[in-house]
Structure 1
């Protein structure tokens, strides 16, 4: 596969107003993607655009609109809406293309562009490469005639529509009445829809992270900073805490005691429940190379398999579609339940956990630890430039670490697709060995990156 110049593991992402997250690049994305997704017939073509609450969304959105309308595509603007909501509405409105403007769990200073095809699925690597090729060639010949320019309209009911879709995934005979739930929306895209959906299903809802100001998305709140949720759960004596990220496609949960439950435990809980009800498909779960070995062993004990993919929720989704699986996700809380959605959806995953909780009549703490995790350590090493993983000394240290873990654990070392980081993960039953291996690899990478 050729090297991608703009797209990473999850769309285009970077610091706002710095290449590649500039208005000029957004304009070219609109022109190129518009050209690629316009068929040859004479009908009007449609693109839908949602965003989170970052200040830079006000810069990226009009640039994309200018690009799409300039090649003759009509545009519908949603305003703040979760990423999975944009995917759903792309299909619901029979659009040719869906766009989400978000840098997910990153700080407000970053932004990103994620693209969905007419089926609501994220674009393949091949499609992204086609868009890149069009972006780098002269786009002037694709410009529409003055009378054929696209029209733009704001859609006001998309949030209400997403709430109704989300509520419909919760078992009809159940209600959340009698439950006190903390929801932390990370001052992001779900700040209206997630608390409202829980409230309409009957819960008493304590809302935090619902006051976006353009700068505070993911700031000391949301799934990457669960302390705010944990504190609120203890303070209000809630039954459960739910924390979403900036675009609401991932979540972490905490039990009534304030203990955090990660994506692996949530996948185990949902998979076990669905397997009991004979609604789990594919004979198991799809997760990435980062998921804990404990999850694999837990599933194996139930006669289920764990299939692993490279990091990135669209690779998980691709494997789910190939193998007919309906539960998949990432340890980070990016959960895909394909019976309901074409991409990760924090709210829908939370509703499935709440359904299990409600039916079990047990406290969340009794359900939170589905399996004993194998000691696992993750360390990120930032680097300024170059390719530390191609350094000979780093290669030698990695080879030795692989040998020491052979048979008793796993090692995953990779460059991040969204930031200049080398991510190092090791796990084994021997915690001392894990710490030792991580320390040695991180030291070698730092030295190579210096």
Structure 2
């Protein structure tokens, strides 16, 4: 009865135990086997056929075409780069050639390993429903689909939130400088929510993540696993820019260099997108006013211009761009000219469309004894928090709030001092929202100074 109710999603089973003290672990594992669905209990998995764009299904059957999803990448100091994957259909052997349909690249599996806590067991084959780690997959990352090259399928990818906090990082010594690049590459491969970039203007390496604690953990891993000591700057909030009204803009890139010149001319329509929609590009050119071979160059120019906004150099998001019109020259037009024209038009259009800034909002849950509730609520109110509710867990009060990320730096120290060290909190990214006019000018000035 419990199994049937669990399979129907009518009950949630709760077991007590402690991993630290190895209490209740075996009953938990037995309950997973006894009450949770096996691969055979679920319907066939759906994906997209990359050749046709239509929905394709894969049954949980060893005789079906092979399909798997990579869900973790680890840099092991003894065996190298390990890609963990879960087989959804079919089977795969060691040293087999597979297709990474996400990146449209063929790869060859090396050894296949089944991981058992602190030891590994080499296997020759993995079947539907199985989980294994593979060596030799150089171009496969978290969320990629692996499949039979003759029967391609694209499974639903794992979607990761964008980083919301950035800090500048620099090595402490020359020896650290030689190792820091390799450490950052490996950490980026393992963690899709961790990003690095090099700022050409300041000459700094910038690392970005999901919060202060996230970056602190990664820096500690750099020190412990890669023996890299690094200094970091003050955390910076990852603001975004967006537009608030539709507009139309024209971009011309016309140059004459004596001989052949450069000619590109585009007309773009810009519209605000739904919050979280990112960037959408539509081509509405009719009657050949711009040859189709130049359309990708216009889109590339627009995407490049979106990387640095017009208010404070933050990325532009949640915008719909439509290529509406333009013109070309039979001799002088080129991909470079139309790329530049697209970039110019986008910048000009954003300036006209009443741009504003978006700030990341975090979902915060604070756990505190009742006698400290008032002090913590007062502090959250001063941090522009929106209190969504206050719950009760025994003698503990749980505050559910939405707080701007920029107001949370150093909060771990503050909440401990307000509660004599007895309150704790957890925090995760929730959404982006428009910045209040009172803070807009202050952030713009600070962003331009970066």
TM interval, short-chain normalised: under 0.3
Larger Rg: 2
Identify the structure with bigger relative contact order (alpha carbons < 8 Å, sequence gap 6+).
1
Q: TM-score when scaled to structure 2?
A: 0.23
If each structure's strand is expressed as a fraction of its own residues, which one has the higher value?
2
Q: TM-score when scaled to structure 1?
A: 0.23
